[in-house]
Amino acid sequence: MKSVFITGGRGFIGRNLMENLTAVGYRVLAPSSSELNLLDEQAVDAFIRREPVDIIIHAANKGGGRDTMGMVDVVHDNLRMFFNIAKHADKVEKIIHFGSGAEYGKHQPIAMVTEEEAGKALPHDAYGFYKSVCSRYIEHSNINIINLRIFACYGKYEDYRYKFISNAIVKNLLGLPITIRQNVNFDYVYVDDLVKMVTWAMTSNSHYKVYNLTRGMSVDLLTLAGLINSVADCPSEIVVDIPELNCDYTSSNRRIIEECPVDFTPHSSAIESLYEYYSKNLSSLDLEAVRQDEFINNIRVVR
């Protein structure tokens, strides 16, 4: 039985990975931040000595979301966590690090970009800059670590207060309108498909150090809202504040698909499954936060 150490195991992607990898027979270690402080180099060293593992999946980070606007020390803390993990590459088979589409610089349009284009400009924001530094280190290193760039991912366990698809589903279940600040094309990947690609990365000899972990296809928020209404018992009103399309946030996934062909879950099927999940778990959610519309209010403040 192989052992996998997942950092950020209590987060959206970490929880899904932990659940799926455990189900197929991996021994998964996913200590919480209170159990293991990733900023503490000596604590990380001691953990690796005490709990030898075969693979490390580094999913922990600070910042990058609407709920973390204004967070300080984003670059320092994230880089320290990254290098506290990366220093142990010689003790494991592989380290998988999650990058971000933010590496391309959100101050400019990001439309069907290839992996090579990320080096053309440094991101202006702290989170994107940190991800870019890690990516450049990985790409030019000779250690067994790869960078999987996530652009947009959705599924159960994501923060429904701030993430569009889950937020819109919960609003529909509450009989609320679905509000879109400005329509935009995203390259959304369903978390079950992301898990498939991560599993490939864990078990295969990849040709590259960096991959865009996406569908390679765009879908706009208005279309996604329509898919939610199509599975709902009672469709929601869809409100769009700004009708013009905002800048794309999409990528080419040709590099990873050539090595890891994926039969992607249709968004319609994925949303239907996610709708059923929230229908069953509605009573356990912070419904008042959804009613107060922290999602759209936060966007309006940021814009």
Task: For the chain, list the domains and their CATH numbers.
Answer: 3-153+189-212 (3.40.50.720), 159-186+216-302 (3.90.25.10)
List, for residues 205-228, the tens digit of each pLDDT value. 999 999 999 999 999 999 999 999
Quick: pLDDT tens for 113-168.
999 999 888 999 999 999 999 999 999 999 999 999 999 999 999 999 999 999 99
Q: Which residue has the higher pLDDT, 83 or 1?
A: 83
Cβ neighbour number for residue 209 with a 10 Å cutoff: 19
Strand partners, 294: none
Q: Is the pTM of this model over 0.85?
A: yes
pLDDT for 295:
57
Cα–Cα distance for residue pair 191/11, rounded to 1 Å: 13
Residue 24 has pLDDT above 70, yes or no: yes
Residue 301 has a pLDDT of: 40
pLDDT digits (tens, 9 = 90+) for 44-94: 999 999 999 999 999 999 865 555 455 668 999 999 999 999 999 999 999
Contact between 4 and 54 (Cβ < 8 Å)? yes
DSSP tag of 179: E
Would you state the pLDDT for residue 243? 82
Closest CA relative to residue 147, chosen from 123, 169, 118, 108: 118
